Structure 1
Amino acid sequence: MRISANALGPAYLIEARVLFAAMSLLVVAWYMKKKLDFSAHTKHFFIIGLFNTALPFLLFAYAAQTLPASILSILNSTAAIWGAAIAIAWSRSLPTLRVIIGLISGVIGVTILVGLDNALLPAGSGEAMIAGVMAACCYGIASNYAKHAPKISSFDNAHGSMWAACLIVLPLLPFMPIREMPDVQISISVILLGVVCTGLAYLLYFRLIEDLGPPSALSVTFLIPLFGILWGYLFLDEQVGWNTALGALFVIGGTMLVTGFSIKKMLASNRKVKHEY
């Protein structure tokens, strides 16, 4: 996204991303002889496609024009914190002390990213930060909706929502034109972003949820900032400020608190799945 966002703009980048993802999932569906009944769950696919794909992808693509990959990855990982906060508002229940501390920790982490060490960030980063936070909020909305949504297989959810996202983003293309024709590096980046980082990633993630359950699958959330910071440093020559590392620690710690994640629970879940197999 960092490589291709400025050249393609948010709309064309995300339309290409979800289209390549949808096509790759279509190939998998054909190979596995899985038929997608899109018309039977059109409303559901469009809701998931909007809040779990199109809108957050567009917001992150907008933010990627300005922010380094490390900051984007940390903002992305606040999705679980947003999910917990929205769940509390949705159910009108009182949060536990653990959840309150986790929410505060997440806010502190984002505040550190936004408010400190601004010399490392270019002009216009404020709006990009807001877009990244709003994108993570969309994931929180989607996760809460999914709890009350029709029971559909994880593969159909991934496949159907990608085609819905294609249709949602399509009308935006005339209003956000391409700024320059993509070169080989940008073209490869977009294809990999769609096929590997979206299509294949959705398959792996939903399979983790089915096999290990949400708590263990959620452990990937804690790896997003680590790899975002690492790849940005190694391949994009991005500086890693002390605020980035400190903000990441607060966000990861807050995510662990609000989700009730623990290594002990994850290992116990893994042992249970292995025993069932």
Structure 2
Amino acid sequence: MRDFLELLVLGAVWGASFLFMRWSAPEFGTLTLAWLRVSGGALFLLPILLWRQGRAPLLQMGRVWKPMLFIGLVNSAAPFALFAYALQQLPAGLASILNATVPMWTALVAWVWIAQTPTALRLTGLLLGFVGVVLLVTARDAGAASGALHLSGVLACLLATLNYAVAAIATQKWLARLSPLAVATGSQLAAAAWLLLPGVLAWPAALPGARSWAALAGLAVLCTGLAYLLYFRLFARVGPSKAVTVTFLIPGFAILWGALFLGERLSLGMLGGGALVLAGTALSLGLLPRRAR
């Protein structure tokens, strides 16, 4: 029950991240927003780490600095920048549905990287999810400004979710001995290092407004610091395959926040494509009951 409640909270918080990016990305820009987000998350987590665990985790992180840098890149720096780019073109609901492809990518990466061969049923799920993505891309009512921008935004979302999948397997493979808090803090510090120069060089000429700064604070503290603390704790308790099922919850919350605060509507194309993506993800994870299969 505790794991389910934490998954629910995590889904609500990460669902809100799409709303916050829609508000802040146009004014901050792609790279600066991503840098400020991970830097704020690191500043939130570091004092908590030192208070609860002392300096010992910092020494442990120093011994695995190369894997930590890699995790920081593929779990935060790259996907946050890609989603910040995509959310300047796509509705929050559509981006969140594409985010639900993470478990499918995770199954594929596990197959290629650690020889975790999927069953025929899971391969069917991967194919079904791919069809759902194609439907989302080709839907005329997806809400993008133009076809070209729509496609580049969709591709950015898919590349971001592929990064998340690689990060999930890499974390299990290389950083399993670190505490969840240490992994969350170290990955944000590493991501901040990756994005420092690009974020500073891309600083916006005009000062962003109050709403953008508030949205940035929500992204840094809630959607990055607190969320990754919850995520890596679940990751350690239930494993990567179950932890990534939070992506099932994110679209519902993102669509709700988008409807309440952005006036977005769930179109028929999004509904059909999203249903296929979620069904394919459930099959690829083997989550459907035996009778339903």
Report whether the alignment pairs 1:95 with 2:118: yes
Report whether the alignment pairs 1:143 with 2:163: no
- Aligned-residue offset at 1:262: 5.0
Cα deviation digits, residues 154-188 of structure 1 (max 9, x gap) = 21111111001001011213553315311111111
Q: TM-score, normalised by structure 1?
A: 0.89
Query: Which aligned pairs between 1:104-183 and structure 2 lie closer than 5 A?
Result: 104-118=127-141, 120-123=143-146, 124-150=149-175, 151-178=177-204, 180-183=206-209
- Partner residue in 2 for 1:228: 254
* Aligned partner (choices 50, 56, 68) of residue 30 of structure 1: 50
SS of residue matched to 1:192:
helix
- Partner residue in 1 for 2:26: 6
* Aligned partner (choices 267, 270, 281) of residue 244 of structure 1: 270
Count of aligned pairs between the two proteins: 264
Runs of 5+ in structure 2 lacking a partner? 1-20
Kept after mapping to 2: 8 A contact 1:7/1:179: no
Structure 2: distance between partners of 1:99 and 1:242: 26
Shift in alpha-carbon separation, 1:171–1:191, aligned structure 2, 3 A: same
Kept after mapping to 1: 8 A contact 2:34/2:80: yes
Shift in alpha-carbon separation, 1:91–1:31, aligned structure 2, 3 A: closer
Shift in alpha-carbon separation, 1:101–1:28, aligned structure 2, 3 A: same
* AA partner of residue 229 (structure 1): I
Tell me how large the CA RMSD over aligned residues is: 1.9
Kept after mapping to 2: 8 A contact 1:52/1:138: yes
Structure 1: distance between partners of 2:79 and 2:54: 27
* AA partner of residue 52 (structure 2): M
- Aligned-residue offset at 1:40: 2.0
* AA partner of residue 25 (structure 1): L
Runs of 4+ in structure 1 over 6 Å off: none
Runs of 5+ in structure 1 lacking a partner? 265-277
SS of residue matched to 1:220:
helix
Q: TM-score, normalised by structure 2?
A: 0.84
